[in-house]
């Protein structure tokens, strides 16, 4: 009787919810790797983005350059959420530092107001309805190049213990149901890299899948996750600040 009542109430309550939980959880997509999609992500020429280089050489602010000022710097834009404690990684490129736009202004730029990037800005990352796998080397290149949003899908406690420098805390458990946040991220023109603890951890895949379902078309998953990044000796940040 208790079981029957519980089952009836549970199914009934779920059916009456504004956004009912699907009866069957959506399967995680079979992700393709960036290499298999025919984009030579290992090619430094496609990742270096001549526009950024030109930007650093030329201080005039053309329309194209303005777009890069506001869209390309990953870590500075990430720091927009907490600009006071932002730490720009040494390995990251310095387009912001060389532009005429003050860093503070770039940090104040909200994602929604950010104009779309140049058409070829992310040509090495194909648009896809499913997340795309990237390896450590590719992630490091995107990290160095800038212009991507890095999301840490682990719990806030793990994030505070150590995370990729500049990465935002986006715990899958809480962000999955945050429609407003998901829609905001979906409007962000920059590619998104999700990661968690590597190994069996699926948090990053789940978060990336939800982002693609919300509409974002350039979502990458760094499957090896934070342990591989840390082992490689790449920039790591402790604490709650990106």
Binding site for another protein (CB under 8 A): 1-3, 5-7, 9-11, 13-14, 17, 21-25, 27, 155, 157-158, 172-174, 176-177, 197, 200, 202, 206
| Residue 132 bridge partners (DSSP) | 32, 220
Round to whole Å and give the CA distance between 189 and 147: 10
Question: Minimum Å distance from CB 156 to another protein?
Answer: 8
Round to whole Å and give the CA distance between 130 and 37: 12
Question: Minimum Å distance from CB 181 to another protein?
Answer: 13
Q: Which is nearer to another protein, 1 or 112 (CB)?
A: 1
User: Is the distance from CB of 91 to CB of 7 less than 8 angstroms?
Assistant: no
Question: Minimum Å distance from CB 129 to another protein?
Answer: 20
Round to whole Å and give the CA distance between 195 and 187: 20
Round to whole Å and give the CA distance between 98 and 2: 67
Q: Which is nearer to another protein, 28 or 104 (CB)?
A: 28
Round to whole Å and give the CA distance between 118 and 69: 11
**Residue 179, SS3 per DSSP:** helix
Check residue 115 and report its DSSP letter.
P
Q: Which is nearer to another protein, 48 or 158 (CB)?
A: 158
What are the tokens at 34?
A: 């960036």
Round to whole Å and give the CA distance between 131 and 149: 14
Q: Which is nearer to another protein, 113 or 157 (CB)?
A: 157
Q: Which is nearer to another protein, 103 or 156 (CB)?
A: 156
Question: Minimum Å distance from CB 177 to another protein?
Answer: 4
Question: Minimum Å distance from CB 194 to another protein?
Answer: 15
Question: Minimum Å distance from CB 180 to another protein?
Answer: 14
Please give the torsion angle defined by the CA atoms of residues 214, 22, 33 and 43, in that order, rounded to the nearest 10 degrees: 10
CA 212 to chain centroid, in Å, comes to: 11
Q: Which is nearer to another protein, 18 or 119 (CB)?
A: 18
């Amino acid at each position: 009787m208790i079981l029957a009542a519980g089952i009836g109430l549970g199914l009934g309550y779920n059916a009456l919810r504004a956004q009912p939980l699907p009866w069957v959880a959506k399967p995680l997509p079979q992700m393709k790797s960036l290499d298999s999609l025919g984009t030579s992500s290992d090619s430094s020429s496609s990742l270096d983005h001549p526009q950024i280089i030109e930007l650093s050489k030329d201080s005039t602010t053309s329309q194209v350059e303005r777009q890069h000022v506001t869209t390309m710097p990953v870590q500075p834009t990430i720091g927009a959420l907490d600009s006071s404690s932002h730490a720009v990684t040494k390995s990251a490129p310095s387009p912001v530092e060389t532009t005429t736009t003050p860093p503070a202004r770039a940090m104040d730029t909200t994602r929604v107001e950010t104009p779309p990037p140049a058409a070829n800005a992310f040509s090495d990352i194909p648009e896809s309805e499913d997340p795309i796998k990237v390896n450590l080397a590719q992630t490091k290149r995107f990290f160095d190049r800038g212009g991507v949003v890095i999301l840490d899908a682990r719990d806030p406690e793990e994030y505070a213990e150590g995370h990729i420098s500049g990465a935002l805390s986006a715990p899958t458990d809480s962000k999955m149901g945050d429609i407003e946040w998901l829609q905001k991220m979906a409007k962000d023109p920059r590619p998104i890299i999700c990661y968690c603890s590597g190994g069996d951890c699926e948090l990053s895949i789940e978060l990336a899948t939800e982002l693609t379902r919300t509409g974002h078309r350039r979502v990458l998953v760094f499957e090896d996750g934070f342990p591989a990044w840390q082992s490689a000796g790449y920039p790591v940040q402790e604490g709650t600040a990106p």
